[in-house]
Amino acid sequence: MSESVKNDGEKIDLGPRVASYPMPVSLVGANVDGKANFLVAAWFMSAAISPPRVAVALNKSHYTNRGIKENKAFSVCVPSVDLIDAADYCGLVSGFKADKSEVFEVFYGKLGTAPMISECPVCMECKLEKVVDNGGHEMFIGEIVSTFTEENYLTCGVVDLKKVKPFMLSFNDRLYVELGKSIAKAWNAGKDYKP
């Protein structure tokens, strides 16, 4: 991230393109036919704050989707960089072809049917609220009912990303990228900005 590039104002249109920005990597969990299955996914976001909701967009071809709909439950787990090989495996190998229930140590929360990953620093347990049809993808919107973590990953009671060590997907060059250093305070850096 050391190159210094200047905007020269000459715009070109690449056409309709997704993912020209870094995306956080997660593992989405669902029980399919009673067995835990996990899919690596970077198309997810916070969708509402009260109650807290998360949205995940998955290609309709994925094995995971049926499990989410059957159980009306899923999880979004945040892997640390230490889990990068296992996470990537869960994107390379479909649940249609391999049983992924033994890849991680699995636990369940209050919903009972949203499998989560013990090895992941953060897991959000979600109750399915809505399915939005987006053509080739469907979007699952879930209410977050629990956020599981461990004392080790907290600072002053909240999840500390410096301890979690999540990673991002740079889609175009097919690379996983770690987080760098903090560079400014949010809701603060622009206080003295004069347009």
Subset of 146-175 contacting its own copies (CB under 8 A): 146-153, 155, 158-175
Q: Which of residues 58-77 bind its own copies (CB under 8 A)?
A: 59
Quick one: 30 or 38, whose CB is closer to its own copies?
A: 38
**What is the dihedral sign for C-alpha 54, 59, 62, 65?**
positive
CA gap 36, 123 in Å, rounded: 14
Among 43, 63, 74, 140, binds its own copies (CB under 8 A): 43
Q: For residues 45 and 158, give the distance between their C-alpha atoms in angstroms, rounded to a whole number.
A: 19
Q: How far is the CB of 88 from its own copies (least distance, A)?
A: 3
Look at the block and give the residue holding tokens 């709909």.
Answer: 69
Q: Which of residues 120-149 bind its own copies (CB under 8 A)?
A: 121-122, 124, 130, 132, 134-137, 139, 141, 143-149
| Alpha carbon 149 to chain centroid, angstroms | 15
The residue count for binding its own copies (CB under 8 A) is 120
